[in-house]
């Protein structure tokens, strides 16, 4: 399995030296020799002959923007986690540790591109202009997503593992059939997000087959966070995930998923390949899930604490902060402003969640079908009449629908 190399002490009283730490950070099994990286865990910007030019325009101001994105996204994620623990949400899906993989890819897309997420892409949603409060209904059980997917160019969350790959491939095929692929300024592409666990699902492979057969302009973006709930990567595949693309006849790239610049550059390249008719492309963002799979999961039952500690050294936000300070002279005032903004966002997010009303009893009818059949119209009328009878009697034992 691809893992940072562990430090094994020879003396219980000894501590790892600086050289040991750096060796762990640069271990050859930390993603392999083909891993694309532009920002090291120590915050040093490095070059890459193939993809470096795709991030040449990123200076201090752009990097500050990506830092802000990641800090705010992480704060929303932590607040969502806390809200679930306090009974305000039915479930929450954490993204802790995957901020760079999502912000880098999300910021690479143009307003014309279409994105299909799974259920963990809170950072990509942020980059597409989705207010974090719009995510709450999904996890509170009051709606399926309250944004317009066509207007935002960001599809509603997909809960069925891997199903979004079929949807994305079909949409991308439509882009090609409608002549939206080429060298013109109006060319567009599709991007589909999924995890390493989804690569074991048939829907993903069917999407790969159709996309390859029709040269569909779709970027398959796999966030390899090393764990499919409790199943480690080595029990899912014998080869690195990005190499699977060869079997379908299109390119695959492995990028450091904790490096926002590398994710930005590789995704920019991949999307442009697809817009100009050279798709599809598979990107494997090699990252790590720092929290549970969902709030119903207990990761301490299947992974070791030292593994988590090793990955903390590659925190995606910290490496950007270090780079801003060391290479761009950014002062503490900027970081304090971002922290204050994250506090305000968290307070607004929490207040919105707590104040969310429960849906009315007719919601079970209004949000299931586009148009009600005569039979369902009659059933709805009978149900509302039945429910009203309890309200008239002041009974608290009547039927209810929805709720947190």
Would residue 78 show up in a list of annotated catalytic residues for this protein?
Answer: no
Tokens of 195: 């995890």
What 3-state DSSP class applies to 77? helix
Would residue 289 show up in a list of annotated catalytic residues for this protein?
Answer: yes
What 3-state DSSP class applies to 195? strand
Sign of the C-alpha dihedral computed for residues 253, 258, 259 and 265 taken in this order: positive
Q: Are 51 and 36 in contact (CB under 8 A)?
A: yes
Tokens of 248: 């379908």
**Alpha-carbon span 121 to 198, nearest angstrom:** 14
Out of 74, 128, 254, 293, the active site residue is 293
Would residue 302 show up in a list of annotated catalytic residues for this protein?
Answer: yes
Tokens of 98: 């995957």
Q: Identify the H or E element spanning 40.
A: none
Return the closest-CA partner of residue 126 out of 192, 65, 170. 65
Out of 254, 268, 289, 321, the active site residue is 289
Return the closest-CA partner of residue 276 out of 212, 190, 183. 183
**Alpha-carbon span 312 to 325, nearest angstrom:** 20
Number of other residues whose CB lies within 10 A of the CB of residue 103: 28
Return the closest-CA partner of residue 404 out of 82, 86, 81, 89. 89
**Alpha-carbon span 218 to 208, nearest angstrom:** 10
State phi, psi for 221 to the nearest 5 degrees.
-110, 100
402 in the Ramachandran plot: left (φ > 0), alpha (ψ -120 to 50) or beta? left
Out of 144, 235, 302, 328, the active site residue is 302
Q: List b or e across 180-202, with b for residues whose CB sees 16 or more CB atoms inside 10 angstroms.
A: bbeeeeebbbbbbbbbbbbbebe
Number of other residues whose CB lies within 10 A of the CB of residue 234: 11
Just list the catalytic residues.
289, 293, 302
């Amino acid at each position: 399995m691809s893992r940072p190399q562990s430090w094994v002490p020879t003396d219980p009283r000894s501590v790892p030296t600086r050289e040991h730490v750096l060796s762990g950070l640069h271990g050859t099994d930390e993603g392999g020799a083909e891993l694309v990286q532009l920002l090291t865990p120590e915050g040093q910007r490095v070059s890459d002959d193939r993809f470096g030019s795709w991030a040449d325009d990123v200076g201090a101001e752009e990097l500050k923007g990506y830092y802000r994105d990641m800090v705010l996204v992480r704060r929303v994620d932590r607040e969502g986690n806390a809200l679930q623990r306090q009974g305000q949400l039915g479930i929450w899906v954490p993204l802790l540790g995957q901020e760079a993989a999502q912000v880098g890819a999300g910021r690479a897309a143009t307003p014309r591109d279409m994105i299909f997420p799974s259920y963990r892409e809170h950072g990509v949603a942020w980059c597409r202009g989705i207010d974090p409060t719009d995510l709450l209904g999904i996890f509170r059980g009051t709606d399926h997503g309250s944004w317009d997917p066509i207007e935002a160019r960001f599809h509603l969350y997909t809960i069925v593992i891997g199903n979004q790959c079929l949807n994305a491939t079909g949409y991308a095929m439509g882009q090609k059939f409608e002549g939206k692929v080429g060298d013109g300024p109006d060319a567009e592409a599709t991007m589909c997000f999924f995890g390493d666990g989804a690569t074991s699902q048939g829907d993903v492979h069917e999407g790969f087959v159709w996309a390859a057969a029709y040269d569909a302009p779709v970027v398959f973006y796999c966030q390899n966070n090393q764990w499919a709930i409790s199943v480690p990567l080595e029990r899912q595949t014998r080869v690195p995930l990005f190499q699977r693309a060869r079997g379908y006849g299109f390119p695959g790239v492995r990028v450091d998923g904790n490096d926002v610049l590398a994710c930005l550059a590789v995704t920019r390249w991949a999307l442009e390949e697809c817009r100009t008719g050279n798709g599809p492309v598979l990107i494997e963002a090699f990252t790590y899930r720092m929290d549970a799979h969902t709030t119903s999961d207990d990761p301490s039952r299947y992974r070791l604490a030292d593994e988590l500690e090793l990955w903390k050294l590659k925190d995606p936000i910290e490496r950007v902060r270090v780079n801003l300070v060391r290479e761009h002279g950014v002062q503490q005032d900027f970081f304090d402003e971002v922290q204050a903004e994250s506090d305000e966002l968290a307070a607004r997010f929490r207040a919105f969640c707590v104040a969310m009303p429960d849906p009315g009893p007719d919601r079970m009818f209004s949000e299931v079908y586009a148009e009600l059949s005569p039979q369902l119209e009659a059933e709805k009328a009978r149900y509302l009449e039945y429910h009203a009878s309890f309200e008239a009697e002041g009974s608290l034992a009547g039927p209810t629908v929805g709720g947190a």
